[in-house]
Chain A
Amino acid sequence: MFLTYYKETRVSIPKAQLPELYRRLYLCRQFENVTIKLFTNNELPGFLHSQLGQEAIPVAISGCLGDGDFMQPTHRGHADMLSKGMDPRKMMAELYAKKTGYNQGKGGSMHMASVKEGILGATGIVGSGPVISIGVALALQMDKKPNVIVSFFGDGATNEGSVHEAINMAALWNLPIVFVIQNNQFAESTPRKDHQKVDDISIRAEGYGIDGYTCDGNDLFAVYEVASKAIKKARKGGGPSLINAVTYRILGHYVGDPGNLYRDKEEVENAKKRDPLQMFKNKLKEMKALDDAAFKRIESEVDALLDEAVTFGRESPEPQDEELMAYIYS
């Protein structure tokens, strides 16, 4: 019940898991790079929020989740989805608004869902996710499942009343849920210091009577450490925790927003120096967990997979006209 700040202690990630975590991290990064390019070339309709630079958070957290566990991504959530195991082909097809996409072209970037794989759709209504996540947690609790849900939201979302309601009720009912703030320092164009007074959002945990952690969201090991603790606790019936994973939104709010009206170039350049992919890779090299050949193999496999995903998305059929009215009611 007491506030816990994360300090520099490390539980190491099981060594056997490291190559897979690297693969997922690299996949998330390249998925961002590829989709940004496609969107900029006007190949993808709608709008696109890039998660570039935040990938270590969902990858570390998904590393602590297994079958039967759930996740609710945010509107900036392609890395959330990929890290939990969604198929980049079907994701790409959805971004192309094709029939073969996860939502058959009806959802798009923000609403992609794969409930079977434990991934709820994100919501386009900021702050709406956590109240839904607690319902999933309640159902898991009622069914006496050993599973949990991780509910992601942004620093901006923490100012929505609905997020407050969700955390309070989850705390009260001891629900198996971990609330994770992907604290990328911005809510659209508004820097964090202009949207909330506290520096460390995790101190709010105390007000709900749950554990709060703050960790370096760009350090995959650091996120893994707090997430494994919080998830273990939730699994054992210990109730929710709130994790403030501090990161930085490298790009604009959406692809197309140069992101230069409300922050200094220098701040962005500095943030880029702490690239989570590079940081993880360096660490793995230092630990001699993977050699150059292994990195190369993983990277080229992922690159090939993404090439295939783009082709799949591009060449898949559109939904038929009569599908417009499908799935409104059961």
Chain B
Amino acid sequence: MAIITYRDAIRDALKEEMARDEQVYLLGEDIAQFGGSYKTCVGLFEQFGKERVRNTPLSEMAVVGCALGSAMLGKRPVAEIMYVDFTACCMSQIVNEVAKTRYMYAGQVEIPMVIRTQGGAGRASAAQHAQSLEAWFTHVPGLYVVMPSTPYDVKGLLKTAIRDNNPILFIEHKLLYNSKGEVPEQEYTIPLGKADIKRPGKDVTILTWSRCVEFSLGAAKELEKEGIDVEVVDLRSLKPLDEETILSSVEKTGHVVVVHEAVKNSGFGAELVALINEKAFDSLDAPIQRVAGEEVPMPFNPRLEAMAIPDSKKVANAVKKVLSL
């Protein structure tokens, strides 16, 4: 197995899928010679040309609308919105059009499109370039939401997302692009809606995704020294959601901590708490704890920024708390 970065795993997935199916094309801002703002498309313009790697004007609404229109006619667009914060500029297209077209048309069309974007804090990018907005999209019927945390997952899931016939928000994390991991040289895909147990354990279940997997594994390592055995479940996709893996882990440990970077209020963690409440209440030995972003626009100052999001220490504290209740 090769060790590659999350960034290169994305590029490889795009490259392989574009080579495999000529209906796949990319569109977005600065994805041509520049290779994308986060350099996830380097070399694709040179390999596939300007018809299939379409550099667009600064026009997010047109990018998403165009992807939708072409998807109805059988194209498989992968649209890049540079920051998840900018999906707000094309939200009507995503929410009112992309998500609903197939249903409104009573199945006359399929919408095989992916919107790739990235979010998250950690680079002092301030309030408009560092948000975690996945809950906006999980709230809308008709969209899938995928948020991988490792090079292996990002490659396998992006390939599946491109082959899937539903509109998918594929949300990367800007601090993961340089992270490295093993990725097989041979072809593989990962099904949507399958969580991955990143660390098995018997005492406490952590439900998490994206960059917070890193914080959760860090906490688990520390807690191991104190004899606490934590299971880290990486959801990988929030929609479809792997209820089975979640519930069986909860049944095993009886203690749950949900960890996500998005602000706590109305975050996807609340949905998970409700799900467990509805389906596994009797398995719980203590109230579920949440570790999440503070209820604040992201500050520019790096120290304040770090305070506003989860870290391993906050996660470890929550685990200890759930065990003490």
Contact = CB atoms under 8 A, between A and B. Distances in A.
Interface string B24-53: 000001101111010000000000000000
B299 A125 contact: no
B73 interface: no
Contacts of B302: 45, 97
B61 interface: yes
B59 interface: yes
Interface string B117-134: 000000111111100000
B301 interface: yes
Contacts of A64: none
B84 to A, nearest CB: 12
A124 B126 contact: yes
Between A127, A189, A319, A321, the greatest number of chain B beta carbons within 10 A of the residue's beta carbon is seen for A189
A328 B57 contact: no
A200 interface: no
Contacts of A160: 58-60, 89
A319 B299 CA distance: 11
A162 B60 CA distance: 11
Interface string A111-148: 10000000000011111100000000000000000000
B307 interface: yes
Given A111-B127, A125-B86, A125-B128, A97 B58 contact: no
A190 B59 CA distance: 13
Nearest to A162: B89
A155 to B, nearest CB: 9
Contact of A107 (B56, B294, B300, B307): B300
Given A105-B301, A110-B126, A188-B30, A324 B296 contact: yes
A189 B55 CA distance: 10
Nearest to A128: B89
A127 B89 CA distance: 10
B191 interface: no
Contact of A319 (B30, B123, B297, B304): B304
Contacts of B126: 46, 106-108, 110-111, 124
A277 to B, nearest CB: 29
A5 interface: no
B124 A106 contact: no
Nearest to A187: B58
A167 to B, nearest CB: 16
B85 interface: yes
A262 interface: yes
A101 to B, nearest CB: 9
A55 to B, nearest CB: 23
A188 B37 contact: yes
B125 A261 contact: no
A161 B300 contact: no
A73 B206 CA distance: 45
A311 interface: no
Given A111-B300, A328-B296, A47 B125 contact: yes
Contacts of B57: 156, 159, 187, 190, 195-196
Interface string B94-127: 0000000000000000000000000000011111
B308 interface: yes
A324 B55 contact: no
Given A45-B300, A196-B57, A318-B303, A324 B294 contact: yes
Given A97-B302, A194-B55, A189 B124 contact: no
B58 A156 contact: yes
B175 to A, nearest CB: 14
Contacts, number: 117
B295 interface: yes
Interface size class of A (residues with CB under 8 A): 35 or more
Contacts of A62: none
Contact of A97 (B86, B129, B301): B301
A294 interface: no
Contacts of B295: 325, 328
A107 B61 CA distance: 27
Contacts of A195: 56-58
A301 interface: no
A210 interface: no
Contacts of B125: 46-47
Nearest to A324: B304
A71 interface: no
A206 interface: no
Interface string A157-168: 101111000000
Contacts of B35: 261
B123 to A, nearest CB: 7
A321 B33 contact: no
A135 B302 CA distance: 32
A123 B297 CA distance: 14
Contacts of A107: 126-127, 300
Contacts of A187: 29-30, 57-58
B133 to A, nearest CB: 13
A97 B272 CA distance: 36
Contacts of B297: 328
B54 to A, nearest CB: 11
A181 to B, nearest CB: 13
Given A123-B128, A160-B89, A319 B61 contact: no
Between A46, A156, A157, A323, the greatest number of chain B beta carbons within 10 A of the residue's beta carbon is seen for A46
* 3 tightest A-B CB contacts, nearest first: A189-B34, A108-B300, A45-B124
Interface of A: 45-47, 97, 103, 105-108, 110-111, 123-128, 156-157, 159-162, 187-190, 194-196, 261-262, 318-319, 321, 323-325, 328
Interface of B: 29-30, 32-35, 37, 55-62, 85-86, 88-89, 123-129, 294-297, 299-304, 307-308
